[in-house]
Amino acid sequence: MALTARLALTGPDTSEPEDFLASSLGVIFPDDPLQFALAEVKAEEDRHLFSHYLWNSSLMLAELIEAGTLGLTIPHNPTIAPPISDFDVSGLSSIELGAGTALPSIMSGLLGARRVVVTDYPAPPGHGWGESDTPLAQANEHAFDRVFVADCLWMPWQHGNLRKSISWFLGEGEGARAWVELLAEVGLEVEKIWERDCDGEDREWVWDRGIEDISVRKRWLAVASLKRIGKSEVPNGSEGKSP
């Protein structure tokens, strides 16, 4: 069953988009319900980063982590996308950048990741993308097997800083993976990039699809795996996943 079918709201009904998931995030596992209360964002300046929303990319990444770690069968096109097992986090360390509701990290912790770190500015102690002189960054250079980046590309002026943070935290092993343009400047390159929709259908990623119906376009998410330049593939290596 898709992860989207196992998420439910509790509490009073609301029709306001900004109140979506404001009170709780419900069922993750159908046989083991968990409840998570999200922070109530009241100040206008705290709403500008939209970190109080649960976005489709976080749902998709959480679903891939679940399937990859538990060995579940989900829709998958092996000619376009890498093996689902690449998203296995058991026994590995992970850090999520721009985490928001942090569903991929929550899933990783539940499924046996060795260490899970969640970051999202401005939550203390916080991590500002591109900043490597903070206590968090200094203590964790190249420290993680997985770097998760979900729906963080909507601010083009922050792409350079985001690339720097991915490179800083990503492990240096031959299996290191993490994401997309101008990556060579920080020693990274795209290993695989494809698109996946809400029904689990995969298709090839292209730079420009021309005119596409907006309702169709919104169904698709770009997913990419990055690696350090010149590094070969090693099972269970360090990877950064970026839907």
pTM over 0.75: no
Contacts of 174 (CB under 8 A, 6+ apart): 231, 232, 233, 234, 237
pLDDT confidence tier of residue 237, bands split at 50, 70 and 90: very low
Cα–Cα–Cα angle for 173, 174, 179, rounded to 5 degrees: 90
For residue 217, is it within any domain? yes
Q: What is the mean pLDDT of residues 101-130?
A: 85
Distance CA 34, CA 24 (A): 10
What is the domain extent for residue 89?
54-242
Per-residue pLDDT tens digits for 215-226: 777 778 888 877
Domain count, the chain: 1
The CATH number for 221's domain is 3.40.50
- Asked if residue 235 belongs to a domain, the reply is yes
Residue 154 lies in a domain: yes
For residue 186, being part of any structural domain is answered with yes
